[in-house]
Structure 1
Amino acid sequence: MTPGDRRVGPAPADEPGFAEKLGYLFEHSRDENGLPYTGKKIAERANELGYSLSDAYISQLRTGKARTPSFRTVEAIARAFEVSVTYFLANPDEDLDRVRQQRDYVQMLATTGTHLSGIDVRAICPDTIDVLIDLLKVVKAQALENKNAPPDQGTSET
């Protein structure tokens, strides 16, 4: 999957979806002549910026008939309206939390040489990841100690 193929997922029930956010831009944004934008004008602006976008597809996005635009489409619309792509994100804080968790996971890999296969790290809170990193550091240190320790002399109890 290439970055242009990523899809913008549905918004949580309490937040406006893509169609609502797009509709808001059409209602409240004005072109250089003070006129409301049309789908055709936004498509033209996006195409002038090097994207491939049609008025018909914008209409489908506005009405909710098309629900999962690619990131490239979101980028084209955002640039045509001259807003940040983050405007369309359901919850930018959630994305920042995911990036922090991924960073912590990468740190854990670098520090311990261990990975958590089969675990959805996004579901683990950052504090828990910190505890796991510390625990794995201890386990790694003990493993290195045992590896470097002289072999057991075979003491037996009688």
Structure 2
Amino acid sequence: MPESSESAGLAQRLDELFRRGRPGGERWTNDEVAAAIKRLNPDIKVSGTYLSALRTGKRTRPSPELQLALAKFFGVSPAYFFDPGSADKISQQLAALDELHQSGVRSLAARAVGLSPDNLDALKTVVDQMRKMQGLPPVVE
């Protein structure tokens, strides 16, 4: 029986979340995610094997409760799994976060947390000057 585009989309979207991994780049395993979901939601029956089947499209109809738990675990809207428009927007946001992480921007932002408004303004000025020296366009806020 051919796989519907909806179930193929679910498999692709879920697999994308797993491939993006956790902060720091290490990828989640099916068993780790299943265990975490069961810890947070003891009533949900899920295994690493079942998540693998969902990711490959061999299984196509997770319960709404499991979809909600997966969305919560990965920090995305539940619409990510069934609304192509929402999925595209969320995928773009996740890609932007990956770029920030890879470029070291997250590390810089973490260092700025807690600084006074005056110090943040000074930091912006320094970064703006560095961008100018490298020939990068100014940031528009």
TM-score (norm 1): 0.45
TM-score (norm 2): 0.50
Largest Rg, 1 or 2 = 1
Question: Larger helix proportion, structure 1 or 2?
Answer: 2
